[in-house]
A and B are shown apart, each in its own frame.
Chain A
Amino acid sequence: MHIIFGFMPIIIVVALVIIAVFIGLKVGRSKKTRGNKSLYLLVGYGFLLVLSTILYYLLPVAAEDPTQKIDVTQIPNLSMEAYEGKLANVDEKYITQKWTFPFEGNQLNIEEYWGNGDVIDVYYGTRKNTNEIEVLLYETPLIIGESFDASEIRIAPKVSLEDDRLLIQHPDAGNIQLSQFKNEFPFRQFLKGSKGDLFYSADLDWDSDYYGDRVIYIRVPARVQLESNVDEQ
Protein backbone atom coordinates (compact mmCIF):
# COMPACT_ATOMS: atom_id res chain seq x y z
CA MET A 1 0.00 0.00 0.00
CA HIS A 2 2.85 2.36 0.86
CA ILE A 3 4.14 2.01 -2.73
CA ILE A 4 0.86 3.43 -4.02
CA PHE A 5 1.20 6.35 -1.64
CA GLY A 6 4.70 6.87 -2.98
CA PHE A 7 3.25 7.40 -6.43
CA MET A 8 0.49 9.71 -5.25
CA PRO A 9 2.10 12.82 -6.80
CA ILE A 10 2.22 11.11 -10.20
CA ILE A 11 -1.33 9.82 -9.82
CA ILE A 12 -2.49 13.35 -8.98
CA VAL A 13 -0.67 14.73 -12.04
CA VAL A 14 -2.28 12.08 -14.28
CA ALA A 15 -5.70 12.98 -12.81
CA LEU A 16 -5.03 16.68 -13.42
CA VAL A 17 -4.07 15.95 -17.03
CA ILE A 18 -7.31 14.03 -17.60
CA ILE A 19 -9.36 16.88 -16.07
CA ALA A 20 -7.46 19.47 -18.14
CA VAL A 21 -8.05 17.51 -21.36
CA PHE A 22 -11.79 17.30 -20.68
CA ILE A 23 -11.97 21.02 -19.94
CA GLY A 24 -9.94 21.71 -23.10
CA LEU A 25 -12.32 19.63 -25.17
CA LYS A 26 -15.28 21.56 -23.77
CA VAL A 27 -13.60 24.85 -24.64
CA GLY A 28 -12.75 23.53 -28.11
CA ARG A 29 -16.39 22.73 -28.78
CA SER A 30 -17.68 26.05 -27.51
CA LYS A 31 -16.50 27.82 -30.71
CA LYS A 32 -15.28 30.71 -28.60
CA THR A 33 -11.67 29.85 -29.16
CA ARG A 34 -10.78 32.85 -31.29
CA GLY A 35 -9.99 36.30 -30.09
CA ASN A 36 -7.18 38.58 -29.30
CA LYS A 37 -7.60 38.60 -25.52
CA SER A 38 -5.30 35.61 -25.12
CA LEU A 39 -2.69 37.20 -27.34
CA TYR A 40 -2.86 40.46 -25.38
CA LEU A 41 -2.51 38.49 -22.15
CA LEU A 42 0.55 36.71 -23.53
CA VAL A 43 2.07 39.98 -24.75
CA GLY A 44 1.40 41.62 -21.35
CA TYR A 45 2.94 38.65 -19.57
CA GLY A 46 5.92 38.78 -21.92
CA PHE A 47 6.38 42.48 -21.16
CA LEU A 48 6.37 41.73 -17.42
CA LEU A 49 8.97 38.99 -17.94
CA VAL A 50 11.23 41.28 -19.96
CA LEU A 51 10.87 44.03 -17.35
CA SER A 52 11.79 41.65 -14.53
CA THR A 53 14.75 40.41 -16.58
CA ILE A 54 16.02 43.98 -16.98
CA LEU A 55 15.59 44.60 -13.25
CA TYR A 56 17.36 41.36 -12.47
CA TYR A 57 20.48 42.65 -14.17
CA LEU A 58 20.16 46.26 -12.99
CA LEU A 59 19.53 45.91 -9.26
CA PRO A 60 22.65 45.60 -7.09
CA VAL A 61 22.76 42.04 -5.86
CA ALA A 62 25.70 39.96 -4.72
CA ALA A 63 26.71 37.48 -7.35
CA GLU A 64 28.82 34.38 -7.21
CA ASP A 65 31.87 34.83 -9.32
CA PRO A 66 34.04 31.78 -10.04
CA THR A 67 36.88 34.05 -11.11
CA GLN A 68 36.89 35.56 -7.61
CA LYS A 69 36.89 32.16 -5.93
CA ILE A 70 38.66 32.45 -2.59
CA ASP A 71 41.35 29.89 -2.02
CA VAL A 72 40.64 28.80 1.54
CA THR A 73 43.81 26.70 1.67
CA GLN A 74 45.75 29.96 1.92
CA ILE A 75 43.78 31.10 4.97
CA PRO A 76 45.55 30.41 8.27
CA ASN A 77 44.01 28.19 10.92
CA LEU A 78 43.79 30.69 13.75
CA SER A 79 43.06 28.17 16.51
CA MET A 80 46.08 26.12 15.53
CA GLU A 81 48.33 29.16 15.28
CA ALA A 82 47.12 30.38 18.68
CA TYR A 83 47.53 26.97 20.27
CA GLU A 84 51.11 26.82 19.03
CA GLY A 85 51.75 30.39 20.23
CA LYS A 86 52.30 31.70 16.73
CA LEU A 87 49.48 34.24 16.52
CA ALA A 88 52.01 37.05 16.25
CA ASN A 89 53.13 35.52 12.94
CA VAL A 90 49.65 35.67 11.43
CA ASP A 91 49.15 38.35 8.80
CA GLU A 92 47.78 41.55 10.33
CA LYS A 93 45.00 41.68 7.75
CA TYR A 94 43.21 39.07 9.85
CA ILE A 95 43.08 41.48 12.85
CA THR A 96 39.61 42.94 12.46
CA GLN A 97 39.30 44.79 15.80
CA LYS A 98 41.80 46.19 18.24
CA TRP A 99 41.29 47.60 21.73
CA THR A 100 44.02 49.22 23.84
CA PHE A 101 43.73 50.22 27.47
CA PRO A 102 46.35 51.97 29.59
CA PHE A 103 47.03 49.87 32.66
CA GLU A 104 49.32 50.60 35.62
CA GLY A 105 48.36 47.73 37.91
CA ASN A 106 50.06 44.40 38.50
CA GLN A 107 47.02 42.14 38.49
CA LEU A 108 44.29 41.87 35.91
CA ASN A 109 41.06 39.93 36.32
CA ILE A 110 39.60 38.77 33.05
CA GLU A 111 35.89 38.17 33.14
CA GLU A 112 34.12 36.58 30.23
CA TYR A 113 30.38 36.66 29.71
CA TRP A 114 28.59 34.53 27.22
CA GLY A 115 26.02 35.59 24.69
CA ASN A 116 23.76 33.52 22.47
CA GLY A 117 26.45 32.50 20.03
CA ASP A 118 29.63 30.50 20.07
CA VAL A 119 32.31 31.46 22.56
CA ILE A 120 35.40 32.91 20.95
CA ASP A 121 38.57 31.31 22.23
CA VAL A 122 40.73 33.69 24.26
CA TYR A 123 44.51 33.42 24.30
CA TYR A 124 47.00 35.38 26.34
CA GLY A 125 50.42 36.81 25.66
CA THR A 126 52.76 39.38 27.15
CA ARG A 127 54.36 42.61 25.97
CA LYS A 128 57.53 44.16 27.30
CA ASN A 129 58.20 47.85 28.04
CA THR A 130 54.61 48.95 27.89
CA ASN A 131 51.79 50.01 30.18
CA GLU A 132 49.07 49.08 27.74
CA ILE A 133 46.75 46.14 27.51
CA GLU A 134 46.13 45.20 23.92
CA VAL A 135 43.18 43.07 22.85
CA LEU A 136 43.16 41.81 19.28
CA LEU A 137 40.31 40.11 17.48
CA TYR A 138 41.57 37.81 14.75
CA GLU A 139 39.05 36.65 12.19
CA THR A 140 39.33 34.63 9.03
CA PRO A 141 36.56 35.14 6.49
CA LEU A 142 33.16 33.49 6.40
CA ILE A 143 32.68 32.43 2.80
CA ILE A 144 29.48 31.09 1.35
CA GLY A 145 29.40 29.39 -2.00
CA GLU A 146 33.15 29.67 -2.61
CA SER A 147 33.17 33.39 -3.40
CA PHE A 148 30.53 35.25 -1.37
CA ASP A 149 32.21 36.85 1.64
CA ALA A 150 29.62 37.08 4.42
CA SER A 151 32.08 37.93 7.22
CA GLU A 152 30.34 41.14 8.13
CA ILE A 153 27.30 39.35 9.55
CA ARG A 154 29.44 38.20 12.47
CA ILE A 155 28.98 40.29 15.57
CA ALA A 156 32.08 41.55 17.33
CA PRO A 157 32.63 40.94 21.05
CA LYS A 158 32.50 43.86 23.49
CA VAL A 159 35.68 44.52 25.42
CA SER A 160 36.08 47.04 28.20
CA LEU A 161 38.35 47.72 31.17
CA GLU A 162 36.90 48.62 34.56
CA ASP A 163 39.62 49.21 37.15
CA ASP A 164 41.51 45.93 37.20
CA ARG A 165 38.79 43.97 35.42
CA LEU A 166 38.92 43.30 31.71
CA LEU A 167 35.37 42.46 30.65
CA ILE A 168 34.75 40.42 27.54
CA GLN A 169 31.18 40.05 26.39
CA HIS A 170 30.99 37.28 23.82
CA PRO A 171 28.59 38.17 21.00
CA ASP A 172 25.28 36.68 20.01
CA ALA A 173 25.27 34.61 16.86
CA GLY A 174 25.04 36.57 13.65
CA ASN A 175 22.20 35.60 11.40
CA ILE A 176 21.98 35.70 7.65
CA GLN A 177 19.14 34.68 5.42
CA LEU A 178 20.21 33.97 1.91
CA SER A 179 18.11 33.59 -1.18
CA GLN A 180 19.90 31.91 -4.01
CA PHE A 181 18.53 31.58 -7.50
CA LYS A 182 19.63 28.52 -9.40
CA ASN A 183 19.51 27.75 -13.07
CA GLU A 184 16.73 25.49 -14.27
CA PHE A 185 17.36 21.80 -14.82
CA PRO A 186 17.98 21.93 -18.60
CA PHE A 187 20.72 24.48 -17.89
CA ARG A 188 22.13 22.43 -15.00
CA GLN A 189 22.17 19.27 -17.12
CA PHE A 190 25.22 20.26 -19.15
CA LEU A 191 27.18 21.65 -16.21
CA LYS A 192 29.79 19.45 -14.66
CA GLY A 193 29.62 18.28 -11.09
CA SER A 194 26.81 18.30 -8.56
CA LYS A 195 25.12 21.27 -10.18
CA GLY A 196 23.99 18.92 -12.91
CA ASP A 197 21.59 17.05 -10.63
CA LEU A 198 17.94 17.05 -11.69
CA PHE A 199 16.67 17.36 -8.15
CA TYR A 200 18.55 20.18 -6.56
CA SER A 201 19.78 19.57 -3.04
CA ALA A 202 20.49 22.64 -0.97
CA ASP A 203 22.77 20.53 1.20
CA LEU A 204 25.23 20.19 -1.67
CA ASP A 205 26.08 23.82 -1.40
CA TRP A 206 27.15 23.61 2.22
CA ASP A 207 30.19 21.58 1.26
CA SER A 208 31.74 24.62 -0.34
CA ASP A 209 31.03 27.00 2.56
CA TYR A 210 33.95 28.07 4.70
CA TYR A 211 33.22 29.26 8.18
CA GLY A 212 36.54 30.73 9.11
CA ASP A 213 37.71 31.13 12.66
CA ARG A 214 37.78 33.77 15.41
CA VAL A 215 40.26 34.24 18.21
CA ILE A 216 40.75 36.91 20.87
CA TYR A 217 44.36 37.57 21.75
CA ILE A 218 45.03 39.53 24.93
CA ARG A 219 48.51 40.91 25.43
CA VAL A 220 49.35 42.41 28.78
CA PRO A 221 52.51 44.00 30.19
CA ALA A 222 54.94 41.30 31.26
CA ARG A 223 54.66 42.23 34.95
CA VAL A 224 50.89 41.71 35.11
CA GLN A 225 49.47 38.64 36.80
CA LEU A 226 46.31 37.28 35.19
CA GLU A 227 43.23 35.87 36.84
CA SER A 228 40.33 34.61 34.82
CA ASN A 229 36.83 33.33 35.49
CA VAL A 230 37.46 30.60 32.89
CA ASP A 231 40.26 28.13 32.31
CA GLU A 232 43.36 29.84 31.07
CA GLN A 233 44.58 29.02 27.53
Chain B
Amino acid sequence: MSFATPKLIDIVKKQFLFKWKGYRPFFTNLVILQAIAIIFSLGGIGSSSHGREGVNVSESIYSADFVLAFTMLWAFIVAILLTSKAYREADFVFITNRFTAQLANVAFLFTISVIGAITAILSRNLLWMITYFSSDNITFVKEAALHPSEYVMGGIATILYVFLFSAVGYLLGSIVQMNKMFAFILPVVFIALLILFGMQEQYLLLWLHEFYYQEDSFIWWFVKTGFTATAFFIASFYLLNRQEVSK
Protein backbone atom coordinates (compact mmCIF):
# COMPACT_ATOMS: atom_id res chain seq x y z
CA MET B 1 0.00 0.00 0.00
CA SER B 2 1.40 3.35 -0.94
CA PHE B 3 1.10 6.41 1.28
CA ALA B 4 2.25 8.79 -1.42
CA THR B 5 -0.54 11.06 -2.59
CA PRO B 6 -0.24 11.53 -6.34
CA LYS B 7 -0.86 15.01 -7.65
CA LEU B 8 -4.05 15.60 -9.59
CA ILE B 9 -2.14 16.97 -12.56
CA ASP B 10 0.12 13.92 -12.67
CA ILE B 11 -2.82 11.52 -12.70
CA VAL B 12 -4.57 13.48 -15.42
CA LYS B 13 -1.35 13.64 -17.41
CA LYS B 14 -0.84 9.86 -17.14
CA GLN B 15 -4.40 9.17 -18.16
CA PHE B 16 -4.16 11.60 -21.03
CA LEU B 17 -1.00 9.89 -22.32
CA PHE B 18 -2.70 6.53 -21.97
CA LYS B 19 -5.62 7.76 -24.06
CA TRP B 20 -3.27 9.39 -26.53
CA LYS B 21 -1.51 6.07 -27.12
CA GLY B 22 -4.51 3.82 -26.75
CA TYR B 23 -7.05 5.68 -28.84
CA ARG B 24 -4.93 6.27 -31.93
CA PRO B 25 -7.35 4.39 -34.19
CA PHE B 26 -9.59 7.45 -33.87
CA PHE B 27 -7.06 9.15 -36.14
CA THR B 28 -7.53 6.46 -38.75
CA ASN B 29 -11.22 7.33 -38.67
CA LEU B 30 -10.34 11.02 -38.97
CA VAL B 31 -8.16 10.47 -42.03
CA ILE B 32 -10.79 8.25 -43.68
CA LEU B 33 -13.60 10.73 -42.92
CA GLN B 34 -11.59 13.67 -44.23
CA ALA B 35 -10.67 11.69 -47.36
CA ILE B 36 -14.36 10.98 -47.97
CA ALA B 37 -15.19 14.65 -47.38
CA ILE B 38 -12.47 15.72 -49.81
CA ILE B 39 -13.97 13.41 -52.45
CA PHE B 40 -17.40 14.98 -51.82
CA SER B 41 -15.83 18.43 -52.06
CA LEU B 42 -14.32 17.75 -55.48
CA GLY B 43 -17.72 18.63 -56.94
CA GLY B 44 -17.46 22.08 -55.37
CA ILE B 45 -19.75 23.76 -52.85
CA GLY B 46 -21.33 25.94 -55.49
CA SER B 47 -21.24 26.65 -59.17
CA SER B 48 -22.72 29.16 -61.50
CA SER B 49 -22.40 30.20 -65.09
CA HIS B 50 -23.65 32.97 -67.26
CA GLY B 51 -22.58 34.93 -70.26
CA ARG B 52 -22.67 38.47 -71.52
CA GLU B 53 -20.78 40.65 -73.92
CA GLY B 54 -19.45 37.69 -75.87
CA VAL B 55 -18.14 35.65 -72.99
CA ASN B 56 -19.39 32.65 -71.12
CA VAL B 57 -18.03 32.44 -67.61
CA SER B 58 -18.58 29.35 -65.54
CA GLU B 59 -17.30 29.23 -62.04
CA SER B 60 -16.92 26.45 -59.52
CA ILE B 61 -16.46 27.33 -55.88
CA TYR B 62 -14.43 25.04 -53.71
CA SER B 63 -13.94 25.00 -50.00
CA ALA B 64 -13.13 22.52 -47.28
CA ASP B 65 -16.46 23.19 -45.53
CA PHE B 66 -17.47 19.54 -45.95
CA VAL B 67 -14.18 18.42 -44.45
CA LEU B 68 -14.78 20.66 -41.46
CA ALA B 69 -18.33 19.41 -41.05
CA PHE B 70 -17.13 15.80 -41.16
CA THR B 71 -14.40 16.63 -38.65
CA MET B 72 -16.96 18.09 -36.25
CA LEU B 73 -19.04 14.96 -36.69
CA TRP B 74 -15.96 12.86 -35.95
CA ALA B 75 -15.23 14.78 -32.74
CA PHE B 76 -18.88 14.39 -31.77
CA ILE B 77 -18.73 10.59 -32.24
CA VAL B 78 -15.36 10.23 -30.47
CA ALA B 79 -16.79 12.14 -27.48
CA ILE B 80 -19.82 9.86 -27.33
CA LEU B 81 -17.55 6.82 -27.45
CA LEU B 82 -15.38 8.12 -24.61
CA THR B 83 -18.40 8.15 -22.31
CA SER B 84 -19.26 4.53 -23.16
CA LYS B 85 -18.64 1.75 -20.66
CA ALA B 86 -16.04 0.06 -22.88
CA TYR B 87 -13.85 3.17 -22.91
CA ARG B 88 -14.50 4.24 -19.33
CA GLU B 89 -13.42 0.91 -17.91
CA ALA B 90 -10.02 1.39 -19.48
CA ASP B 91 -9.49 4.34 -17.09
CA PHE B 92 -9.39 2.04 -14.11
CA VAL B 93 -6.01 0.57 -14.96
CA PHE B 94 -4.71 3.70 -13.20
CA ILE B 95 -5.20 5.15 -9.78
CA THR B 96 -8.07 7.35 -10.69
CA ASN B 97 -11.43 8.76 -9.87
CA ARG B 98 -14.17 9.92 -12.16
CA PHE B 99 -13.07 13.52 -11.94
CA THR B 100 -9.49 12.92 -13.12
CA ALA B 101 -10.71 10.51 -15.80
CA GLN B 102 -13.04 13.15 -17.12
CA LEU B 103 -10.43 15.88 -17.00
CA ALA B 104 -8.19 13.60 -19.06
CA ASN B 105 -11.09 13.04 -21.47
CA VAL B 106 -11.57 16.80 -21.90
CA ALA B 107 -7.83 17.26 -22.48
CA PHE B 108 -7.90 14.43 -25.01
CA LEU B 109 -10.93 15.87 -26.77
CA PHE B 110 -9.33 19.29 -26.93
CA THR B 111 -6.13 17.79 -28.36
CA ILE B 112 -7.96 15.85 -31.06
CA SER B 113 -10.03 18.98 -31.79
CA VAL B 114 -6.80 20.87 -32.47
CA ILE B 115 -5.48 18.06 -34.70
CA GLY B 116 -8.83 17.68 -36.48
CA ALA B 117 -9.16 21.43 -37.05
CA ILE B 118 -5.62 21.87 -38.37
CA THR B 119 -5.90 18.93 -40.78
CA ALA B 120 -9.32 20.17 -41.91
CA ILE B 121 -7.96 23.66 -42.61
CA LEU B 122 -4.95 22.29 -44.50
CA SER B 123 -7.11 19.84 -46.44
CA ARG B 124 -8.27 22.76 -48.56
CA ASN B 125 -4.80 22.87 -50.09
CA LEU B 126 -4.95 19.14 -50.82
CA LEU B 127 -8.35 19.66 -52.43
CA TRP B 128 -6.84 22.49 -54.45
CA MET B 129 -3.88 20.34 -55.52
CA ILE B 130 -6.15 17.49 -56.68
CA THR B 131 -8.37 19.79 -58.75
CA TYR B 132 -5.37 21.72 -60.06
CA PHE B 133 -3.57 18.67 -61.41
CA SER B 134 -6.69 16.91 -62.66
CA SER B 135 -8.20 19.80 -64.61
CA ASP B 136 -7.44 21.12 -68.07
CA ASN B 137 -8.30 24.57 -69.38
CA ILE B 138 -9.42 25.81 -66.02
CA THR B 139 -8.27 29.10 -64.62
CA PHE B 140 -7.67 28.95 -60.90
CA VAL B 141 -8.29 32.04 -58.87
CA LYS B 142 -7.16 32.26 -55.30
CA GLU B 143 -9.20 34.26 -52.87
CA ALA B 144 -7.49 37.32 -51.50
CA ALA B 145 -5.14 36.50 -48.65
CA LEU B 146 -6.56 37.13 -45.22
CA HIS B 147 -5.05 39.48 -42.70
CA PRO B 148 -2.91 37.57 -40.16
CA SER B 149 -5.40 38.42 -37.41
CA GLU B 150 -8.19 36.92 -39.54
CA TYR B 151 -6.13 33.74 -39.92
CA VAL B 152 -5.66 33.55 -36.15
CA MET B 153 -9.35 34.16 -35.42
CA GLY B 154 -10.42 31.67 -38.10
CA GLY B 155 -8.00 29.04 -36.78
CA ILE B 156 -9.17 29.45 -33.19
CA ALA B 157 -12.79 29.43 -34.33
CA THR B 158 -12.25 26.19 -36.25
CA ILE B 159 -10.70 24.49 -33.22
CA LEU B 160 -13.45 25.74 -30.93
CA TYR B 161 -16.25 24.65 -33.29
CA VAL B 162 -14.79 21.13 -33.37
CA PHE B 163 -14.35 21.22 -29.57
CA LEU B 164 -17.92 22.46 -29.13
CA PHE B 165 -19.23 19.50 -31.10
CA SER B 166 -17.15 17.16 -28.96
CA ALA B 167 -18.72 18.80 -25.88
CA VAL B 168 -22.20 18.18 -27.29
CA GLY B 169 -21.26 14.55 -28.00
CA TYR B 170 -19.82 14.16 -24.51
CA LEU B 171 -23.00 15.47 -22.90
CA LEU B 172 -25.26 13.27 -25.04
CA GLY B 173 -23.03 10.27 -24.34
CA SER B 174 -23.25 11.01 -20.60
CA ILE B 175 -27.03 11.21 -20.77
CA VAL B 176 -27.14 7.86 -22.59
CA GLN B 177 -24.99 6.33 -19.85
CA MET B 178 -27.72 7.19 -17.32
CA ASN B 179 -30.14 5.01 -19.21
CA LYS B 180 -29.52 3.22 -22.49
CA MET B 181 -33.04 4.07 -23.62
CA PHE B 182 -31.79 7.61 -24.25
CA ALA B 183 -29.72 6.22 -27.15
CA PHE B 184 -33.01 5.83 -29.01
CA ILE B 185 -35.01 8.61 -27.36
CA LEU B 186 -32.51 11.44 -27.99
CA PRO B 187 -32.25 11.09 -31.80
CA VAL B 188 -36.04 10.73 -32.05
CA VAL B 189 -36.61 13.79 -29.83
CA PHE B 190 -34.02 15.76 -31.81
CA ILE B 191 -35.65 14.99 -35.16
CA ALA B 192 -39.14 15.53 -33.72
CA LEU B 193 -38.09 18.94 -32.36
CA LEU B 194 -36.65 19.89 -35.72
CA ILE B 195 -39.89 18.97 -37.46
CA LEU B 196 -42.02 20.63 -34.79
CA PHE B 197 -40.04 23.86 -34.90
CA GLY B 198 -40.00 23.62 -38.69
CA MET B 199 -43.81 23.43 -38.79
CA GLN B 200 -44.06 26.53 -36.63
CA GLU B 201 -41.51 28.31 -38.78
CA GLN B 202 -39.25 28.69 -35.76
CA TYR B 203 -36.32 26.81 -37.04
CA LEU B 204 -34.16 25.52 -34.23
CA LEU B 205 -31.13 25.31 -36.47
CA LEU B 206 -31.76 28.83 -37.69
CA TRP B 207 -31.74 30.09 -34.11
CA LEU B 208 -28.49 28.23 -33.40
CA HIS B 209 -27.05 29.64 -36.61
CA GLU B 210 -27.96 33.18 -35.60
CA PHE B 211 -26.75 32.76 -32.02
CA TYR B 212 -23.33 31.34 -32.90
CA TYR B 213 -22.55 31.97 -36.53
CA GLN B 214 -24.08 35.38 -37.04
CA GLU B 215 -22.00 36.70 -34.15
CA ASP B 216 -19.32 38.66 -35.90
CA SER B 217 -17.60 39.90 -32.74
CA PHE B 218 -14.86 37.35 -32.13
CA ILE B 219 -14.71 38.06 -28.39
CA TRP B 220 -18.46 37.57 -27.93
CA TRP B 221 -18.43 34.48 -30.10
CA PHE B 222 -15.53 33.10 -28.04
CA VAL B 223 -17.45 33.75 -24.79
CA LYS B 224 -20.63 32.12 -26.15
CA THR B 225 -18.88 29.05 -27.52
CA GLY B 226 -16.50 28.66 -24.61
CA PHE B 227 -19.32 29.03 -22.09
CA THR B 228 -21.48 26.48 -23.93
CA ALA B 229 -18.68 23.91 -24.16
CA THR B 230 -17.79 24.42 -20.46
CA ALA B 231 -21.42 24.12 -19.41
CA PHE B 232 -21.82 20.91 -21.40
CA PHE B 233 -18.70 19.38 -19.86
CA ILE B 234 -19.73 20.37 -16.33
CA ALA B 235 -23.15 18.82 -16.91
CA SER B 236 -21.43 15.69 -18.22
CA PHE B 237 -19.16 15.57 -15.15
CA TYR B 238 -22.20 15.75 -12.94
CA LEU B 239 -24.05 13.01 -14.82
CA LEU B 240 -21.09 10.64 -15.04
CA ASN B 241 -20.17 11.18 -11.39
CA ARG B 242 -23.59 9.83 -10.46
CA GLN B 243 -22.64 6.49 -12.03
CA GLU B 244 -21.74 3.59 -9.75
CA VAL B 245 -18.04 2.86 -9.41
CA SER B 246 -16.88 0.51 -12.17
CA LYS B 247 -20.45 -0.39 -13.00
Contact = CB atoms under 8 A, between A and B. Distances in A.
Interface residues of B, number: 89
A173 B47 contact: no
Nearest to B63: A182
A53 B122 contact: yes
A120 B54 contact: yes
A34 B26 CA distance: 10
Contacts of A33: 22-25
B62 A179 contact: yes
A75 to B, nearest CB: 13
Interface string B128-145: 110110010111111111
A39 B138 contact: no
Contacts of A65: 144
A180 B59 contact: yes
A217 to B, nearest CB: 17
B27 A184 contact: no
A182 B139 contact: no
A185 B72 CA distance: 13
A36 B127 CA distance: 27
Interface in B86-101: 86-87
A56 B131 CA distance: 12
B92 to A, nearest CB: 15
Contacts of A189: 154, 157, 213, 215-216, 221
B56 interface: yes
Interface string A35-49: 111110110011011
A180 B143 contact: yes
Interface stretch (A8-16, A80-88, A94-102, A222-230): A8-16
Contacts of B16: none
A66 to B, nearest CB: 5
Nearest to A65: B144
A62 B140 contact: yes
B141 A180 contact: yes
B56 A7 contact: no
Given A38-B27, A52-B126, A202 B59 contact: yes
Among all A-B residue pairs, the 10 with the closest Cβ atoms: A187-B154, A186-B157, A202-B46, A38-B24, A49-B122, A63-B142, A202-B48, A117-B54, A28-B86, A52-B125
Given A62-B142, A175-B55, 15 more contacts: A7-B195, A11-B191, A21-B77, A24-B81, A28-B84, A29-B86, A33-B24, A34-B24, A38-B24, A39-B27, A61-B141, A150-B57, A174-B54, A175-B56, A184-B68
Interface of B: 21-31, 34, 44-48, 50-65, 68, 73, 76-78, 80-81, 84, 86-87, 115, 119-129, 131-132, 135, 137-146, 150-151, 153-154, 157-158, 161, 183, 187, 190-191, 194-195, 198-199, 209, 213, 215-216, 218, 221
Interface of A: 3-4, 6-7, 10-11, 13-14, 16-18, 20-21, 24-25, 27-29, 33-39, 41-42, 45-46, 48-50, 52-53, 55-56, 59, 61-66, 117-118, 120, 142, 144-145, 147-148, 150, 153-155, 171, 173-187, 189-192, 196, 198, 200-203, 205-206, 209, 211-214
27 contacts: A21-B84, A24-B78, A25-B81, A33-B24, A38-B28, A39-B27, A42-B24, A49-B126, A52-B128, A55-B129, A61-B140, A61-B142, A62-B140, A120-B54, A142-B55, A144-B59, A176-B57, A176-B139, A177-B60, A178-B59, A181-B61, A181-B63, A182-B63, A186-B157, A187-B153, A189-B154, A191-B146
